[in-house]
Amino acid sequence: MRELYEILLQDGIAQPMAEKMAKYGEMVVKANEKFNLTRITSPQDMAESHFIDSIDAARRGYIPKDAHLVDIGTGAGFPGVPLAIFLPKAHVTMIDSSEKKIHFIRETCSALKISVTTVCGRSEELAREKQFFQTFDVAVARAVARLNILLELCVPYVRVGGLFLAYKGNSATEEAEEARGAAEKLGMELISISSAGPKNTNHALVIYQRVQDTPCIFPRKYAKIKKSPLS
């Protein structure tokens, strides 16, 4: 996908990274013909919405170069795969409940020599396991749910002092206000809401930091989370 590669280069992404991103994008588009991975497939939209947007948090310095990072509800591999390419020393774990999507990411990243760990499972169930509970420096999630639900699904993975980065749109401020009580109950503090991603978009990054341990009653079962979001 030459056009995608050229757009990424023009955005200042280093040649070897732009090449890997373009190859991954090409394989996403090809796989999308067989099963639904993404509705975004044009080179311009893919460059902006999938790759440039995904690595924006790292470019801004919110993610350490050697971070232990988890991408929750990764879908077609965003933002996790672009972050793994952009931060080759990071330890990136990608979680999704779809075996088809996890299999695609695992096989594609192996072929392109992109270092990631893939896990198939429900985030609220995996978060209770010792190897995942409060063990990551950074958790990221994009387009999964509103913040008052997303926080409970994601922040149990974050260590004390670590960050949760939620990739959001123009509802970011409204959602953060709605989730104020949830953040407090889960031991998180809102650090900032900032414009993010490509220019001339409504993308935003909502950043939380863990200041206290997550109470052991969280996360609840998904049916309870969805029916009665924390407030």
Q: What is the pLDDT of residue 199?
A: 76
Residue 152 in any domain: the answer is: yes
Rounded distance between C-alpha atoms, residue 99 and residue 121, angstroms: 8
Residue 140 in domain? yes
- Answer yes or no: is 42 within a domain: no
The residue type found at 133 is: F
| pTM, 2 dp | 0.96
CB 148 within 8 A of CB 172: no
Residue at 157 is within a domain: yes
Residue 31 within a domain = no
In this prediction, residue 204 carries a pLDDT of 93
Amino acid at 142: R
**CA torsion, points 119, 59, 188, 66, in degrees to nearest 10?**
50
As a whole number of angstroms, the distance between CA 47 and CA 3 comes to 9
Residue-number span of the structural domain to which 212 is assigned = 62-227
Does 195 map to a domain? yes
State the DSSP string of 89-103.
TSEEEEEES-HHHHH
Query: Other C-beta atoms within 10 Å of 34: how many?
Result: 9
* pLDDT of the residue at 177: 97
Q: What is the mean pLDDT of each run of 10 residues along the chain (231 residues)?
A: 93 97 96 85 90 95 97 96 98 97 98 98 96 97 91 97 96 96 98 86 93 95 96 91
Say if 142 falls within a structural domain.
Answer: yes
pLDDT of residue 196: 86
Per the DSSP assignment, residues forming a β-bridge with 120 are 96
Eight-class DSSP state of 65: T
- In the chain, the number of structural domains is 1
Q: What is the pLDDT of residue 207?
A: 98
Question: Which CATH number characterizes residue 85's domain?
Answer: 3.40.50.150
Pull the structure tokens for residue 213. 């341990």
41 exposed, middle or buried (CB, 10 Å; 0-12, 13-18, 19+)?
Answer: middle
CA 165 to centroid of chain Cα atoms = 8
Q: Is 23 a domain residue?
A: no
